[in-house]
Amino acid sequence: MAGRFFSLARILFASLSVYALCSVCIEAREARADEATVTVGRAGPRPPPHQPDALASDAGDDDSSRERERTRDVYRAPFRLQLGPSAITTGRGLGMGLGVAADFGRGTVGARIAAAWMRAERPSEGDTQASSVLASGLAQYTGELTLDLNKHGPVHPVLGMGFGVAHVSKSGTSGNAGVGIARLAIEYAIGLDDADVRIGGSITGALPGPMDRELPDLRPYAIVGGNIAIGF
């Protein structure tokens, strides 16, 4: 009887030992799993949730900034001085000289005053006329309204119309004539931050009007010039 009881107790003890060992193994596995989970959590913060609206807004802001930078207008001075060579012709030759001007305005519409001093054109070979109708030289003083066809950007096509006075010198005498002018110019702005510097060229057509009797044969002429303009 005691032997049977001892055998039963031994079987029960063995069963309890196996049960306890299994329980310990299961708890150890769960603990390791929990530790692994905690370790992963400590390795770094979770990535933020996807925010498409914020990303789209940032991309839009970058595009807007780049567009504003690309279309940023260069500095345009309200007053610019011009200086450059000029040449005058009535179709018989060229007479060289010098031109100066002052431009006013930074918008589409502006104003300009100009002066040019030129020698008489040299007739081409084979010309049968004794001398040029411009005599020994011409000085022109004009004022005009200008129209800048592209006030934004570096290239500026400019149209001008106005009137002025032409003084023609002859040997021993001289005469004056009123002239109406039309001018076409192309200017390129270099694009400095604090100065309006441009280079360009122009062609001006002049139509004589009322004149002194010393200039009965004065006829229309054209002036071609190049210039550099500096504004502050």
Instruction: Give the chain's length.
Output: 232
Predicted confidence at residue 10, as pLDDT, reads 58
CA distances from 163 to 5, 119, 186 (A): 138, 21, 20
pLDDT the model gives residue 67? 52
Structure tokens at 84: 């450059």
pTM for this structure?
0.65
- Please identify every stretch of the chain with a pLDDT value under 70, giving residue numbers as ranges: 1-74, 123-133, 135, 171-172
Q: What is the pLDDT of residue 181?
A: 97
Residue 14 φ/ψ, nearest 5 degrees:
-65, -40
- Residue 220 has a pLDDT of 92
Cβ partners under 8 Å of residue 208, min gap 6: 166, 177, 178, 179, 215, 218, 219, 220
Domain range annotation of the chain = 2-70, 79-231
The amino acid sitting at 51 is Q
pLDDT at 38 (0 to 100): 44
Any idea which fold 79-231 has? Porin (2.40.160)
Question: Whose CA is closest to 118, among 139, 141, 92, 90?
Answer: 139
What does the alpha-carbon distance between residue 88 and residue 95 come to, in Å, rounded to a whole number?
A: 5
Res 217: pLDDT? 80
